[in-house]
Amino acid sequence: MSNTLNGIKQRFGIIGNSNLLNDAIDIAMQVAPTDLSVLVSGESGSGKENFAKIIHSQSARKHNDFIAVNCGAIPDGTIDSELFGHEKGAFTGAVDHRKGYFEVADGGTIFLDEVGELPMSTQARLLRVLEAGEFIKVGSSKVQKTNIRVVAATNLDIPKAIKKGKFREDLYYRLNTIPIKIPSLRERKEDIYLLFRKFSVDLAEKYRMPPLRLDEEAREILENYRWPGNIRQLKNIAEQISVIEENRLVTRNQLLKYLPEASTSNLPVIIGNDSINDSDPAQSSDWKRERELLYKALFDMKRELRGLKGVVTDLVRNHGNIKDTESAFQQLNLEGDKLPPQELTSYPVPVSKTFDAQPTQENEEDYHDSHEVVEESLSLAEREKEFIIKALDKHRGKRKNAAKELGISERTLYRKIKEYGIQ
């Protein structure tokens, strides 16, 4: 099986040894001899068309036509004509009859890329082909038969599109008889450097130049970058660096010129928030800044709690010695503020005889009962409100400056002030 897998990779130029990638290829090879419909899902640039070609090449249809159609690139008004053909005079400009892809590829395989972009009327026609092997040309009333295998691909969340009424549920189940999930590049980090080296070597041979090499720091950045454009983006970056950079040993600073986003911290990404309108750039931008503010609050809380834990530990070790406790607090910087002496002395400390000695097995229970436990609120909303109040106080109520300090827009700050009832 390993030899067959390697042979498929070599034939279709697939680079990588990731288990997720190998599993996807294995599924494609197993389903190929059948006539079942296949839905290939994966992010843009992850190489979905290669899997359609693998399925066709390993099937009994391999000697017949393979046609790849990008459904997202064909206008809604002509997509039916392209797929199913039309009769002469069916619409303005139809000066002759035309065969569609389902008629031309009869007996072969058709690959419908970006199938999620099909209009609802075309989805109904496609469902008829999958269920009965029949279609009708535009402008005709004659039913025609076709024996064709459909492999579809999409980078959309089809179940989500179904809920929004943009995709037929019955068509989804017809297409998704065998699902194949293509891993994104960030899910196969071990393959990133292999792909980069392959692209740079190919380009070096083509233009007769030395291939690129990466130092250790540059390679680490390359492998930890999110690669939203996947393999397509990686190849583009490799080509840019190969042509522009004279130094063939790529350093961290050189690479960051082409991946400036890699220098920022990788905060967790929230996916699937239906309340955000992606078509409104201002709203999307405000939401991202607001999300970053919440994460900042969360990380600061974590840092503060870690510091408080250290202070309490020191307090117990020093048997409640106030001077040592005050020194520990002064070393702990909570939002850059020093605690005043009166707050230091009022911080809850053990008041039992354990000040004179470490708690023994006999008095350990008394020790735990004799000190007060202060619970700090972990609410992100409260922390966000606290940050806003501090920013407004710092800038004497000037919202523009406070919003800039917080990294959000004035509109978002105004909304938050009203939401939290800040005076």
The answer to whether 110 and 151 have CB atoms below 8 angstroms apart is yes
Q: What is the pLDDT of residue 328?
A: 53
Report the largest interatomic distance among the alpha carbons of the chain, rounded to a whole angstrom. Answer: 103
Q: Which two tokens stand for residue 204?
A: 């070096």
Instruction: Choose among 63, 82, 204: nearest CA to 138.
Output: 82
Bridge partners of 144, per DSSP, are 135
Q: What pLDDT score does 272 carry?
A: 46
Residues pairing with 110 in the sheet: 67, 150
| Nearest partner of 194 among 368, 21, 382, 357, judged by Cα | 21
Strands 134-136 and 143-145: antiparallel
Q: How far is residue 164 from each of residues 79, 113, 157, 231, measured CA to CA in Å?
A: 22, 21, 11, 30
Side by side, the strands of the sheet bearing 109-113 are 66-70, 109-113, 149-154, 38-41, 178-181
Rounded Cα distance between 412 and 419, Å, is 10
Residue 259 three-state SS: coil
Q: What is the DSSP pairing of strand 38-41 with strand 134-136?
A: unpaired
Task: Write out the two tokens for 336.
Answer: 């850059």
Burial class, 308, CB count within 10 angstroms (exposed 0-12 / middle 13-18 / buried 19+): middle
Is residue 116 within 8 A of residue 104, CB to CB? The reply is: no
Q: Residue 122: its pLDDT value, please?
A: 96
What does the pLDDT look like over 13-51, one tens digit per residue?
999 999 999 999 999 999 999 999 999 999 999 999 999
> What is the DSSP annotation of 32-71?
TTS---EEEE--TTS-HHHHHHHHHHTSTTTTS-EEEEEG
Assess contact for 51 and 182: CB atoms under 8 A: yes
| Residue 144 backbone dihedrals phi, psi, to 5 degrees | -115, 150
CB 252 within 8 A of CB 215: yes
Which uninterrupted H or E stretch holds 181? strand 178-181
- Identify any residues that bridge with 109 across adjacent strands, giving them in sequence order: 66, 149
* Dihedral sign for Cα atoms in the order 223, 226, 232, 235: negative
Neighbouring residues of 358: CB distance < 8 A, sequence distance ≥ 6 = 319
Q: Which long-range contacts (CB under 8 A, 24 or more apart) does 305-308 make?
A: 305/376, 307/332, 307/333, 307/334, 308/332, 308/376
DSSP string for 213-252: EE-HHHHHHHHHS--TTHHHHHHHHHHHHHHH-S-SEE-H
| The pLDDT value given to residue 418 | 81
Neighbour tally for 133: CB within 10 Å = 14
Per-residue pLDDT of the chain (423 residues; tens, 9 = 90+): 455 899 999 999 999 999 999 999 999 999 999 999 999 999 999 999 999 999 999 999 999 999 999 999 999 889 999 999 999 988 888 888 999 999 999 999 999 999 999 999 999 999 999 999 999 999 999 999 999 999 999 999 999 999 999 999 999 999 999 999 999 999 999 999 999 999 999 999 999 999 999 999 999 999 999 999 999 999 999 999 999 998 999 999 999 999 987 765 454 444 444 445 544 544 555 566 666 677 667 767 777 777 777 666 666 666 555 555 555 555 554 444 444 444 444 444 444 434 444 444 444 444 444 444 445 555 667 778 888 888 888 888 888 888 888 878 887 888 888 888 887
Sign of CA dihedral 400, 405, 409, 414: negative
Backbone CA torsion sign across 135, 141, 143, 144: negative
Alpha-carbon span 41 to 160, nearest angstrom: 14
**Length of the chain in terms of residues written:** 423
pLDDT in tens, 133-187: 999 999 999 999 999 999 999 999 999 999 999 999 999 999 999 999 999 999 9
**Helix runs in 133-273, H state only:** 158-163, 169-175, 192-207, 216-224, 230-244, 252-258
Strand bridging mode 178-181 / 38-41? parallel
CA distances from 185 to 18, 63, 193, 409 (A): 10, 32, 11, 33
